[in-house]
Structure 1
Amino acid sequence: MALLLAVAGLALLCGLWWWSASSAAPDEHGGDAGSPAPPSGAGAKPAWLAALPGMSSAPEPEQARAPEGDADPTRDLKSYIPRGANPGMAEVIERLHERGIFSGLGAFSPPGTRPPLVGLAVPEDFALPQGYVRHHQVTDDGQSIEAILMFAPDFQLYDANNQPVAMPKDRVVPPELAPPGLPQRRITLPAPREPARPGQ
């Protein structure tokens, strides 16, 4: 019985294949001139087989390639630096400033153009009176600098006669205007680091 069913199924499949092949063939008398010729060659599949999911002989359309970069319209560094260029930080900042960009990296001065301020060192445990602040800095090569004593931006110092004292333009506190009890020691700037050699 099982053998009979298998033979019947095979015959049905052969009949369907024969029917689809003959229906796809052009008419002996010319047929429809506007209809496309059936695919030929070893890769051709019957229409009923091509209709099954995953069995189509037509090549799958390629997915559209995403454009280079992302969809964010905001310009970033690669908009200002040519591909393949390897500029230093000073050159990057200068190029941004030339184009009127003063945010992000453009908010910084190029290395070496704004040297660190030197003033009185402020120990971490020293209690500062009102109007005085610790100013922390970093060298161009990323080394921390000891905090110096500065006047707060809106602070005005007055003398014994209640007259305003001339404040330094850079707000760095000179030794004669330092609060009582502060050790009179100026900071020393760390020596520049040697640039890393390739491969290190």
Structure 2
Amino acid sequence: MRKLLPIGIIIALVVIIGFWVIGIKNSALRYSQATEKEWGNVNTAYQRRNDLIGNLVNTVKGAADFEKGTLTAVIEARAKATSINVDPKNISPEQLAQFNQAQSGVSSALSRLLVTVEQYPTLKANENFLKLQDELASTENQILTARTRFNESVQAYNGYILAIPNSWFLGSYKEKGYFQAVAGAEKPVEVKF
């Protein structure tokens, strides 16, 4: 009986450690899934913006002598932004920077479009255009919220997988990147009337 006691203790310790490691891996999986879900929400918000841009461009095209170059820039920026795909399982800072740069190109082109629209009073009074402009503003807020929630989920995920002792057992889980502000975002916007 005394000979079996050490073996029983060793088996119990192995079982306890095994369940502990399984718990660590399952928690990492939950954090990873939460990050992927939030990435899906970010993509949904950007897809909504891209869909609205198509409607906005078609509405603006109706203005007789509207500047074609501005419309072309918006269309090209939208096409470039939709061509970049990021794998949510392996989101690296480099991939996010590339994605963010393409999306900022859309924002920039869209801003130029909306500034140019100011020169066309009939277009500014167009009810469809005003609705689309409001929807676009709402969508930009949704994008901000989705990006913030994504960064929060990445923080939780990275904190979990990088913490010791979790990092000892989670070598296959890689750190994920955060959304960063677009270069030059720290400078104040100059408004001229």
Q: Same fold (TM over 0.5)?
A: no
The answer to which structure, 1 or 2, has the higher relative contact order (CA under 8 A, 6+ apart) is 2
**Larger Cα-atom Rg:** 1
Structure with bigger strand share is 1
Please state which band the TM-score falls in when normalised by the shorter chain: under 0.3
Structure with bigger helix share is 2
Task: Give TM-score, length-normalised by structure 1.
Answer: 0.21
Task: Give TM-score, length-normalised by structure 2.
Answer: 0.22
